[in-house]
Amino acid sequence: MMDRLTSMQVFVKVVEAGTLTAAGIGLGLSSQMVGKHLRFLEERTGARLLHRTTRRQSLTEIGSAYYERCKLVLAEADAADAIAQNLRATPRGKLRINAPLSFGAHSLTPALTRYMQRFPEVSVELTLTDRVVDLAEEGYDAVIRISPLKDSGLIARALKPYQLIACAAPAYLAERGTPQVPADLAGHECLGFAYWAAPPLFDWEFTGPSGSERVTVRSQFLVNNGQALRQAALSGFGITLQAEDMLREDIASGRLVQVLSNYGAPTRPMHIVFMPDRRPTPKLRSFVDFVVAEFG
């Protein structure tokens, strides 16, 4: 039984070379073997593919259509081989990554050091900003986004939602009291996050036994950095609503106390986003897989 893909390759070479002899020389086959491949395809298709005389050859109508399709099949086979080779390739080169400030500094950076230890031939250039960057125009390989995604034509892999919790210092709670229900927050100093491209969010939403509960808070102090809000909370200035990852050690040590723990705190959708590419580089593929494993 002859290999159909090899026979297609021989057929394409015959068409492009002009004769069986020339095709055989190019492929390292005898004219007789080239003829066998052509007969195999003609028997398989049940149609003549070439008109052949002693002086010249020409494609039949079916042969012309078959020739074009064979070229596509062979191109896809080459692409499949290239993907397999890329999978075996060692990730190397520079990755340009963008992430939101608080998540990037507190959670992503420690993970990146582990990634670079695993792939020592990859270097990472990380920029941290809460504005939405343009991957193509600004030359980023991948970005982390903590917000609902717009339909942009980019590829997105979902990560674990970004979990927020409400916390305050023991000194603040001793002075001002501990809120028991979300509505109590209206009488407290709530440390506000100022977004780069949107108004500050003064509505904090929690989920309780009766469903969603939203309260409008007041903020004497607004800042666009989560670590700054954490420091303000540690100093006893108010209640902060920030990422659980960032506040976990402070809660464990008693420096901060979680409030409204009986209520579900807000979450934000989080994704890693990158440009569509039929053949992503080994460095990008390894990085996306790593981030999904770490934060998925």
Q: Is residue 267 a contact partner of residue 159, using CB atoms and an 8 Å limit?
A: no
pLDDT at 187 over 80: yes
Q: Nearest-CA neighbor of 287 among 88, 108, 138?
A: 108
222 residue type, one letter: L
According to the model, what pLDDT value does residue 13 have?
Answer: 92
The neighbouring-strand residues paired with 94 are 123
Domains and CATH numbers, the chain: 4-88 (1.10.10.10), 93-161+270-295 (3.40.190.10), 162-268 (3.40.190.290)
pLDDT in tens, 141-176: 999 998 888 877 889 999 999 999 999 999 999 999
According to the model, what pLDDT value does residue 116 have?
Answer: 96
pLDDT in tens, 20-49: 888 889 889 998 999 999 999 999 999 999
What is the pLDDT averaged over residues 76-91?
A: 79
Share of the chain above pLDDT 70, in %: 95
Sorted by sequence, the CB contacts under 8 Å of residue 37 that are 6+ apart come out as: 2, 6, 7, 10, 11
pLDDT at 1 over 80: no
pLDDT in tens, 87-112: 667 898 999 999 998 899 889 999 99
- pTM score, whole prediction: 0.64
Q: Is residue 221 a contact partner of residue 230, using CB atoms and an 8 Å limit?
A: no
According to the model, what pLDDT value does residue 87 have?
Answer: 62
75 residue type, one letter: A
According to the model, what pLDDT value does residue 118 have?
Answer: 94
CA separation for the pair 10, 43 (Å, rounded):
15
**CA 11 to chain CA centroid, nearest Å:** 41
